[in-house]
């Protein structure tokens, strides 16, 4: 009973802590974009450096009316935001933060677990697009499905390359097996994984499913209030998951000076730097066309991921 209680308390603690990370990323996005694009509003809300912007956004969403379209599939429509958010929170439990068991729940096949559960999160957008009874929402959902099929494969192949190099599917095991010379010859896989992850999250420049100039806001067009806020929170949670996984798989996780004592700081620092890159890309690059998005996946990322797996196999044979 004590063991069960201990595991339950650890899971609750990890969820409470990591639930705040998406909010921090959301706040950071306001500030970074404000600096890069000269936006005044997010820098002044509440006084010192716009500290109250996130609070103002929360109050705004909470006071909006919760509307369900008359022709919508009511149950699926209401369930979709939770389906979009919860998988990313579950994945956070399995990502190791530091050495010596500093992880919510260690899973032997952790890499399979996180990639499978991340794919479930996209179903929230598909459910929202289908259930809204809106042609723009349906089109956004169909684009989400096409994007998922195109970018899931290179993401899996890039992750498989790391698993081959480490000889394990356990995320803590992958970090333990990490060597400093991995990063140079796994850099192609890291770029493929990161870019494919951005596309799965529908982050700019891969945000065709929510192209406001064409289809209003895609699958989320009919959503208001807190349900819409949950979709935004799911996006920020996905950013934390993507950056955390990239850190664990390709950047050595907690490896760094004084890793035994402050290894968790290195994990969080690397994750924060990657999150900044995600925001930077949103500000820098314009949205791709749908044909450009598909062409990038099938003609560039998948061949590069296959080449990375081949290189990993050659290196493993030479080393052994």
- The predicted-structure confidence for 217-246, as pLDDT tens digits, reads as follows 778 888 888 888 888 888 888 899 999 999
Share of the chain above pLDDT 70, in %: 90
Note whether 177 and 167 are within 8 A (CB): yes
Strand-pairing partners, residue 149, are none
pLDDT at 214 over 70: yes
| Mean per-residue pLDDT of the chain | 83
Q: What is the per-residue pLDDT for 196?
A: 93
Q: For residues 157-176, give the mean pLDDT.
A: 89
Q: How many angstroms separate the CA atoms of 60 and 24, rounded?
A: 18
Q: What is the per-residue pLDDT for 242?
A: 93
Q: What is the per-residue pLDDT for 304?
A: 94
* Cis peptide upstream of residue 205 (ω within 30 degrees of 0): yes
Helix boundaries (H) for 201-258 = 212-215, 225-250
Q: What is the per-residue pLDDT for 192?
A: 94
pLDDT at 41 over 80: no
State both tokens at 236: 């920020």
Note whether 25 and 32 are within 8 A (CB): no
Residue 15 banded pLDDT, cuts 50, 70, 90: low
Residue 6 banded pLDDT, cuts 50, 70, 90: low
Q: What is the per-residue pLDDT for 137?
A: 87
Say which DSSP state 204 is in: T
Helix boundaries (H) for the chain = 2-37, 53-63, 74-94, 110-121, 123-131, 135-166, 171-177, 182-185, 187-200, 212-215, 225-250, 259-284, 290-296, 302-319
Q: For residues 279-292, give the mean pLDDT.
A: 86
Q: How many angstroms separate the CA atoms of 238 and 235, rounded?
A: 5
Q: What is the per-residue pLDDT for 258?
A: 80
Note whether 105 and 11 are within 8 A (CB): yes
Q: How many angstroms separate the CA atoms of 254 and 101, rounded?
A: 12
Note whether 95 and 115 are within 8 A (CB): no
State both tokens at 301: 């990322």
Q: What is the per-residue pLDDT for 9?
A: 67
Residue 315 banded pLDDT, cuts 50, 70, 90: confident
Q: What is the per-residue pLDDT for 301?
A: 93
Comparing 53 with 132, which gets the higher pLDDT? 132
Q: What is the per-residue pLDDT for 14?
A: 61
pLDDT at 54 over 80: no
Note whether 174 and 162 are within 8 A (CB): yes
**Domain map (residue ranges) of the chain:** 66-319
State both tokens at 207: 């945000």
pLDDT at 43 over 70: yes
Q: How many angstroms separate the CA atoms of 98 and 199, rounded?
A: 28
Q: What is the per-residue pLDDT for 130?
A: 84
Q: How many angstroms separate the CA atoms of 319 and 151, rounded?
A: 31
Q: For residues 290-317, give the mean pLDDT.
A: 89
Q: How many angstroms separate the CA atoms of 28 and 10, rounded?
A: 27
State both tokens at 78: 């209401």
Share of the chain above pLDDT 90, in %: 17
Q: Strand, coil or helix: what is 98? A: strand
Say which DSSP state 209 is in: G
Q: For residues 247-271, give the mean pLDDT.
A: 86
Comparing 20 with 164, which gets the higher pLDDT? 164
Q: What is the per-residue pLDDT for 17?
A: 63
């Amino acid at each position: 009973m004590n063991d069960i209680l201990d595991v339950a308390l650890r899971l609750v603690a990890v969820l409470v802590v990591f639930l705040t990370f998406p909010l921090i990323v959301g706040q950071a996005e306001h500030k970074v974009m404000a600096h890069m694009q000269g936006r005044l509003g997010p820098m002044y809300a509440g006084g010192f450096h716009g500290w109250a912007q996130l609070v103002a956004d929360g109050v705004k969403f909470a006071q909006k009316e919760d509307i369900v379209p008359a022709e919508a599939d009511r149950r699926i429509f209401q369930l979709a935001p939770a389906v979009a958010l919860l998988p990313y929170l579950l994945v956070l439990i399995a990502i190791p933060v530091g050495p010596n068991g500093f992880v919510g729940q260690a899973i032997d096949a952790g890499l399979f677990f996180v990639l499978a559960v991340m794919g479930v999160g996209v179903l929230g957008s598909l459910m929202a697009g289908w259930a809204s009874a809106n042609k723009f929402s349906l089109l956004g959902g169909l684009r989400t499905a096409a994007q998922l099929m195109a970018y899931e494969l290179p993401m899996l192949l890039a992750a498989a390359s790391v698993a081959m190099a480490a000889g394990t599917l356990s995320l803590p095991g992958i970090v333990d097996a990490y060597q400093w010379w991995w990063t140079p010859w796994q850099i192609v896989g890291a770029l493929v994984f990161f870019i494919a992850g951005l596309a799965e999250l529908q982050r700019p420049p891969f945000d065709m499913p929510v192209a406001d100039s064409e289809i209003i806001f895609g699958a989320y067009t009919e959503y208001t209030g807190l349900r819409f806020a949950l979709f935004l929170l799911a996006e920020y949670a996905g950013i934390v998951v993507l950056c955390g996984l990239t850190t664990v798989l390709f950047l050595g996780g907690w490896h760094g000076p004084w890793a035994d004592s402050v290894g968790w700081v290195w994990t969080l620092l690397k994750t924060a730097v990657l999150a900044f890159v995600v925001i930077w890309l949103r500000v820098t690059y314009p949205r791709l066309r749908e044909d450009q998005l598909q062409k990038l996946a099938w003609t560039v990322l998948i061949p590069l991921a296959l080449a990375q797996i081949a290189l990993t196999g050659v290196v493993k044979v030479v080393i052994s």
